[in-house]
Every structure is written in structure tokens, then in C-alpha cells.
Amino acid sequence: MSTIGQCYIYSDLSSDPEFEEAIAEFVTGLQDWIFSIERLRTTGKWSEIGLTTGRLRAAAKEHGFSELLPQIAQLQEATRSGQDPEEIRRSLERLSAACRRVRIENE
């Protein structure tokens, strides 16, 4: 299934009913993660972005959202290596765009 040329992102664990509730909670809270990182970015708290994206990466991996891992890693690397704030903003926008494609289950 795709929308405007982009595929939705589903959990690798979505076929397992045992993970259904945990996946739903993760997806529901995903935009809160992005808003938190955006607040940190606008205040220049680069090391906290690194910590927060590390927690997000662990949560994404735990809930089977492996497709998010490259964008999360890119944002982590941008903040860790002290890249230009504009590049960090672009990395966050790419992650945010990927998160908007996340769905709870394949419909």
C-alpha cells in the first residue's frame, strides 16, 4: 500500500498478536518523540538529542520498526559529529516524515 509515492511503515512484529498493544502504544506516542526532539533542537541541546534519539532507536527496534533505524541513526550522527544546525534540522525532518508513514497494522 502506498500514499503519494511512499509506502507505509509497519512493525516487523505486526503479525504477532502478542505485540499488538505494545506496537499500538509505540505508534501512538511516536509524534511525542518527534516533538520532544524538535524542542531540544530549537534550544540547541545537542547532547540531549543524542540521548533521546538513542532511546527512540531502542524503542523502535524493540517494537519491530527497523525501517526507522537509518533515519534515527542519521540524526544521531548529525548531532554527535557537531554538524551544522541546518543539517540537523533536515535529518529531523527526514525522521519526522518517516514517522508520519508509520501505521499500526497492515490494513
Residue 68 lies in a domain: yes
Residue 105 lies in a domain: no
Residue 94 lies in a domain: yes
Residue 106 lies in a domain: no
Nearest to 67 by CA among 4, 15, 6: 6
Encode pLDDT of 54-97 as tens digits: 999 999 999 999 999 999 999 999 999 988 999 999 999 999 99
Cell numbers linked to 18: 502478542
Rounded CA-CA distance 75/94 in Å is 9
Note the pLDDT of residue 4.
Answer: 43
Is pTM beyond 0.75? Reply is yes
Encode pLDDT of 16-44 as tens digits: 999 999 999 999 999 999 999 999 999 99
Note the pLDDT of residue 106.
Answer: 53
**Residue 67 lies in domain:** 2-100
CATH code, domain with 55? 1.20.120.160
